[in-house]
Structure 1
């Protein structure tokens, strides 16, 4: 099942905006050099190894630019790929293929890189109950695709934006005057504005964990930058009262020990902000 944020209108709006950025008034290289009416065929070549993402998006990009293009998908999102695989073929106006090529590749290369690392890290913690989550540390105007890639790679999407969940982080707590006023004021605001949103509170030590438990009325407790011993104690204190999320500087090397502390979720900004794109190209044949 696709995430709720992945609506057709949102995807179409992204593609339209991206084309405006890349093509503007016209792809003059193609318009100038390719004879009008020239037909061609190209294939998407995989030149890396990992999990493919963005195949479905690629078809939408080609079709939005030129509905007459014929696209054949040879693999699907989430499939493992290796060097030499062919992802799709596209046939039709040569100029249309060239004009839409770069947007397809830019999206697929980055999305596949994200899906690949998400899949690899998710596999490392399958022996625990922890689930790997993304964050809002995404590329401006490309969040939709980056979170889609995490989903394709087997990860869990955290809140999509500031409007679909309340997360009271350290600065919120400090500016609000403490954990208790931050929570009570938040609950009052949500009630006043008839908003049904989950609430998560970031904690930095066991004292703050205890305070959140005492105040109650939240859904998640974030355990931020805690060492393994402190995190295990926090998980034991919380029990089944709230879901737990480990966060803060977690790397591939520390991921497994953190998961083994018993947390429900682990959020990693690196899934989207520190990714090596997969090498993919489009070649005429």
Structure 2
């Protein structure tokens, strides 16, 4: 995401929250200055420092923001993460928007890191999905990377992934893959989502290069690995959680993708305290 795209997102977030003006903060003298600090209320992986800084800077360029930690650092409960100084009315107006970005993005990076830690030294790559908040995809995918994961397709032009509804429209996996081969661009592989072993066999027979095993049990995944025998790269997705991911971290699996990294990540607890 370039600077202009990020600024547009932050400006829209400020406009959304401020509306026609922060009438509550008008009780504070407009010239009164002071400082505040971001306080971690739990342990987490920090993410969103540059976005939070931009919130204050775009609203009031005289505000000074200094973070003691960088994106990707492990923060402990009770730790001061950064400070803000300047006009207190401006600080109060920007507080919620800055915290929303920090809490949301840190939540995503934290849950991603927990998943990575759970599978240990496995060479399996943990991926996000396109199940992101509208207009915040680039920020949320950035948070996944900060947590140690990797990005799946950023948008639909990044790769061919034939899913169940594509197959229904085309009539079969074979027909769908054959059509995909006609439009395939250089350096783009053809992926197919399958929900059972028969569909896996069909996808392999027609030359799919990447297979997504959707909502399969660990036992079925083991059978799929045997059938695949290294022919295509294998990704598993659907129903995978922090509690059961170890059962799916099997030799022969290349990727595990999880929509929950972005659509279900719990915001971490951070507050802004006036000094």
Q: Would the aligned equivalents of 2:18 and 2:93 in 1 still touch at CA under 8 Å?
A: yes
Match of 2:103 in 1: 109
* Distance apart, 1:48 and its partner CA: 0.8
> Partners in 1 of 2:35 and 2:7 — Cα distance?
24
Q: Is it true that 1:165 corresponds to 2:159 in the alignment? A: yes
Match of 2:266 in 1: 276
Q: Pick one of 29, 54, 58 that aligns with 1:35.
A: 29
Match of 1:15 in 2: 10
* Distance apart, 1:37 and its partner CA: 2.2
1:204-228 Cα distance to aligned partner (Å, 9 max, x none): 2222222222222x44210112222
Q: Pick one of 229, 238, 248 that aligns with 2:219.
A: 229
Match of 1:249 in 2: 239
> Partners in 2 of 1:7 and 1:40 — Cα distance?
32
Q: Would the aligned equivalents of 2:14 and 2:55 in 1 still touch at CA under 8 Å?
A: no
SS at match of 1:253: coil
Distance 1:23 1:190, change over 3 A: farther
Q: Pick one of 80, 86, 93 that aligns with 1:86.
A: 80
Q: Would the aligned equivalents of 1:199 and 1:220 in 2 still touch at CA under 8 Å?
A: yes
Q: Would the aligned equivalents of 2:161 and 2:193 in 1 still touch at CA under 8 Å?
A: yes
SS at match of 2:192: strand
* Distance apart, 1:179 and its partner CA: 0.8
Matches within 5 A, 1:102-251: 102-190=96-184, 197-216=188-207, 218-251=208-241
SS at match of 1:28: coil
* Distance apart, 1:18 and its partner CA: 1.0
1:33-56 Cα distance to aligned partner (Å, 9 max, x none): 122222221111111112111122
Q: Would the aligned equivalents of 1:222 and 1:246 in 2 still touch at CA under 8 Å?
A: yes
Match of 1:99 in 2: 93
Gaps of 5+ in 2: none
Q: Would the aligned equivalents of 1:232 and 1:261 in 2 still touch at CA under 8 Å?
A: no
> Partners in 1 of 2:217 and 2:68 — Cα distance?
46
Q: Would the aligned equivalents of 1:107 and 1:145 in 2 still touch at CA under 8 Å?
A: no
1:241-278 Cα distance to aligned partner (Å, 9 max, x none): 32211011112222011112531111112212222211
Match of 1:24 in 2: 19
Equivalent residues, number: 275
Distance 1:163 1:16, change over 3 A: farther
Q: Would the aligned equivalents of 2:118 and 2:242 in 1 still touch at CA under 8 Å?
A: no
